[in-house]
């Protein structure tokens, strides 16, 4: 296989807050990226509203767990195939979500150390939001960026596989890259939002849209609220 070439975030998203990905693509293909985080829990999303749903879930989970003495610590293992929850104490896999079933991931604009992503249960068609927190805002940002890179790697691998197929076999499997799609506006108070459009049916249909508007109320000068949608 030829070496995989990724679009940099700055090309995939105009006004992107970063110029390069965190990892070599081979890391997400042949290995995995592991991050330690606290798992605040999950909740059923009855009315899916993109980033608004993740923000609501983050607020509710933060409130419901603020008096808990012990919050589970897990390892989030990220590859181009998806995300695994691994128990930090015994290394058992608790849950696994395929990349094609992850539709939205975002930092909490009210607490940038908290983040969440939404998954779709293919058996029930229900959506669930899983909420996490870390000890450092930069770590949370890196996790979100790595999720974005996982989507990009999966997309480029799909393109590579498509090009390797005979013309006859490729019929009916045309990969379309969307140039744009309406993105729900984030709440007031969001500094910057990098948005990745993740098609729920195929990880191959992705595009980045970034809102470059700055909110003067935020005092953090180098932190970004990052959203994958």
pLDDT of 137-190, one tens digit each?
999 989 988 998 998 899 899 988 888 876 655 444 443 433 333 333 333 333
Q: Structure pTM?
A: 0.71
User: What local confidence, expressed as pLDDT, does residue 66 receive?
Assistant: 80
Give the C-alpha separation, 132 to 151, whole Å: 20
C-alpha triplet 109, 149, 189: angle, nearest 5°: 15
pLDDT of 97-106, one tens digit each?
999 999 888 8
Give the C-alpha separation, 199 to 96, whole Å: 19
Give the C-alpha separation, 111 to 137, whole Å: 9
Q: Which of 32-36, 152-156, 190-194 has the lowest mean pLDDT?
A: 190-194
Q: Could you tell me which of 161, 147, 153, 203 has the C-alpha nearest to residue 178?
A: 203
In CATH terms, 26-163 corresponds, of 3.40.50.720, 2.30.29.30, 3.50.50.60, 3.40.50.1370, to 2.30.29.30
Confidence check: pLDDT of 192 > 80: no
User: What local confidence, expressed as pLDDT, does residue 20 receive?
Assistant: 81
Q: Could you tell me which of 127, 115, 121 has the C-alpha nearest to residue 55?
A: 115
Instruction: Render 50-109 in DSSP notation, one character per residue.
Output: THHHHHHHHHHHHHHHTT-S---EEEEEEETTEEEEEETTT--EEEEEEGGGEEEEEEET
User: What local confidence, expressed as pLDDT, does residue 106 receive?
Assistant: 85
Q: With cut-offs at 50, 70 and 90, classify the pLDDT of residue 11.
A: low
Burial of 104 (0-12, 13-18, 19+ CB in 10 A): buried
Which residues touch 11 (CB under 8 Å, ≥6 apart)?
A: none
């Amino acid at each position: 296989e030829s070496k995989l070439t990724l679009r940099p975030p700055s090309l995939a998203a105009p006004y992107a807050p970063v110029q390069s990905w965190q990892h070599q693509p081979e890391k997400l293909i042949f290995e995995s990226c592991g991050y330690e985080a606290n798992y605040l829990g999950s909740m059923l999303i009855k009315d899916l509203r993109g980033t608004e749903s993740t923000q609501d879930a983050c607020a509710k989970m933060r409130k419901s767990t603020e008096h808990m003495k012990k919050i589970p610590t897990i390892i989030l293992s990220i590859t181009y195939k998806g995300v695994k929850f691994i128990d930090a104490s015994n290394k058992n896999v608790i849950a696994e979500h395929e990349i094609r079933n992850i539709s939205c991931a975002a930092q909490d604009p009210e607490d940038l150390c908290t983040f969440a992503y939404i998954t779709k249960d293919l058996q029930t068609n229900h959506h669930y939001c899983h909420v996490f927190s870390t000890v450092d805002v930069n770590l949370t940002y890196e996790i979100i960026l790595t999720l974005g890179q996982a989507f990009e790697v999966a997309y480029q691998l799909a393109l590579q596989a498509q090009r390797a197929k005979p013309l006859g076999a490729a019929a009916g499997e045309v990969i379309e890259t969307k140039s744009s799609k309406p993105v729900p506006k984030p709440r007031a108070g969001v500094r910057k939002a990098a948005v990745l459009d993740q098609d729920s049916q195929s990880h191959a249909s992705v595009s980045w849209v970034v809102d470059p508007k700055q909110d003067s109320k935020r005092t953090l000068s180098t932190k970004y609220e990052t959203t994958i949608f």
